[in-house]
Amino acid sequence: MFSLKNKTALVTGSTFGIGLGILQVLARAGANVVMNGRKTPPDLDQLLKELSSHGNRAIFIPADVSQAKDRERLFQESLKAFGRFDILVNNAGSFFDSGWDRLNEETFDSTMNLNVKATFFMSKRVIDHCRELKQKGSIVLVASTNSFAAERGSPCYDTSKGALLMMTRSLAVQTFKDSVNVNALCPGLVDTPLVRKLAGDDATFNMIGRNVPKGRFCTIEECGYAVLYMVSDEGQYMTGQHITLDGGILAVQHTAVDDLGAKTPS
């Protein structure tokens, strides 16, 4: 059950954080995996050894997916290494917002080029490949709870993640007859190096985690398990949909009354 044996999976932006967690889970399920990032991680040999310890293979291909030539090279080298291409997880993305007063076209363009444009054209490349060979394929876009609810200080990021959710639906509509599934993962607060950096210190990080309805951050492995279902044979009826992993954040209505510490009517 949930076996990916003999399948090939590429996860963009997978040298750390959510991408690495997804890659690890897919590797444990037996997939041959392609790790990707702009820079070579210092512990690459150890990471590849761990990823390829499940009767599978693992390689690293450095590439900046915001660049068209790098995207095509990444796809071609992945295909050459394993002879087939089955799963794409578009995880590469970043947060470039630095305050409303400093928001400019460069910030907006950087966000959209990486978070949206790269995802769209990586997905199109895989869809075209699957159509040409008449084979099944699975694509996952890593969106966010920011796809549904905005936060102060992140207008570019929020806009990009909202776009990914509609992109998921639109690509799914284009591929209904192609045996290609397109879905999205929408994580909330996940324990990653980037989130810890944004928190500033352990005390703040821990406080934020306690404020999640479930009382903690999501783990990168939990993100991986959700993706595993979406790309497995067992999840093939699902397309144009999303899985939200937020510990209950979006289920809670936060109002000014909450800020005052007052009790709301039951």
Is 192 contained in some domain?
yes
| Model pTM score | 0.94
- CA of 91: how far to CAs of 73, 82, 107, 164, 207, in Å? 17, 21, 19, 11, 27
At 123, which CATH number?
3.40.50.720
Q: What does the pLDDT look like over 70-89, one tens digit per residue?
A: 999 999 999 999 999 999 99
- Lowest average pLDDT, out of 7-11, 187-191, 193-197, goes to 193-197
Question: Do residues 9 and 231 lie in contact, with contact meaning Cβ atoms separated by under 8 Å?
Answer: yes
Query: What's the CA dihedral at 26, 143, 157, 85 to 10 degrees?
Result: 50
Q: How many domains does the chain have?
A: 1
Task: Tell me how far apart the alpha carbons of residues 236 and 59 are, in angstroms, rounded to a whole number.
Answer: 26
The amino acid that residue 189 corresponds to is L
Is 114 contained in some domain?
yes
Q: What does the pLDDT look like over 124-159, one tens digit per residue?
A: 999 999 999 999 999 999 999 999 999 999 999 999
Q: Is the pLDDT of residue 266 over 50?
A: no
- Residues serving a catalytic function are 157
Range of the domain at 208: 8-260
Question: Do residues 126 and 87 lie in contact, with contact meaning Cβ atoms separated by under 8 Å?
Answer: no
- CA of 139: how far to CAs of 83, 135, 175, 254, in Å? 18, 13, 11, 33
Is 22 contained in some domain?
yes
Q: Is the pLDDT of residue 197 over 70?
A: yes
- Lowest average pLDDT, out of 12-26, 75-89, 93-107, 136-150, goes to 93-107
Q: Is the pLDDT of residue 43 over 90?
A: yes
Is 235 contained in some domain?
yes
Average pLDDT on 41-69 reads 97
Is 266 contained in some domain?
no
Is 2 contained in some domain?
no
* DSSP of 76-143: HHHHHHHS---EEEE---------GGG--HHHHHHHHIIIIIHHHHHHHHHHHHHHHHT--EEEEEE-
Q: What does the pLDDT look like over 222-262, one tens digit per residue?
A: 999 999 999 999 999 999 999 999 999 999 876 655 555 54
Task: Tell me how far apart the alpha carbons of residues 138 and 16 are, in angstroms, rounded to a whole number.
Answer: 22
Which pLDDT score, from 0 to 100, does residue 185 have?
Answer: 98
Is 1 contained in some domain?
no
Is 205 contained in some domain?
yes
